[in-house]
Amino acid sequence: MYQQIIAAIIIVFFIIRLVSLKRSKNLNTNEFVFWLIFWILAGIAVAFLKQIDQLVAKMGFSSSGINFLLYIAVIVLFYLIFRLRLRIFKLDKALTKLVRDIALNNKKD
């Protein structure tokens, strides 16, 4: 119970932070929607921890619901890092193109 309350407080904190970032226009709509859905899903998962416990047991796993959420969190984190890496790679390419164009434009003879 206490764990759930602490988790809920953390989630509410992140949602408030998200809304304030959106209001101050430091976050675009896509990112806002993505993270809002992410934290709402996290909230639902925490709220239904007991049911997840039962579900995990029904599926034949010996681990508890909170462990299950932890596994999911690690998978999500890996996926986000992967996306981030691809994004950095694309930015890297754009940067190279920019550097090349500037270099060639400065050498117009």
Partner 1 sequence: MKIICIIAAYNEEKKIANTLDDVKKYLDNIVVVDDGSRDNTVKVAREKGVTVIEHKINRGQGAALETGNTYALKHQADIVVHFDADGQFLAKEIKDIIKPIKAGYDVTFGSRFLDKKSQVPFTKRNIIMPLAKLINLVFFNVRTSDPQNGFRALNVKALETIKIENDRMAHCSEILAKTRKYKLKYKEIPVTVLYAEFGQKFNSGFKILSDLFVNKLTK
Decide if residue 78 touches partner 1 (CB under 8 A). no
In degrees, rounded to 5, the angle at the alpha carbon of residue 83 between the alpha carbons of residues 61 and 38 is 55
Compute the distance between CA of residue 26 and CA of residue 104 in angstroms, rounded to an integer. 35
Residue 50 or 85: the one with the smaller Cβ distance to partner 1 is 85
Q: Contacts by 47-55 with C-beta closer than 8 Å and gap 24+?
A: 47/4, 47/8, 49/4
Residues touching partner 1: how many (CB under 8 A)? 15
Distance of CA 38 to the CA centre of its chain: 6
Task: Give yes or no for a contact between 18 and 27, defined as CB atoms under 8 angstroms apart.
Answer: yes
Residue 9 or 102: the one with the smaller Cβ distance to partner 1 is 102
Q: Cβ of residue 79: shortest distance to partner 1, in angstroms?
A: 13
Q: 19, 41, 89, 94: which one contacts partner 1 (CB under 8 A)? A: 89
Decide if residue 92 touches partner 1 (CB under 8 A). yes
Residue 17 or 93: the one with the smaller Cβ distance to partner 1 is 93
Q: Cβ of residue 80: shortest distance to partner 1, in angstroms?
A: 15
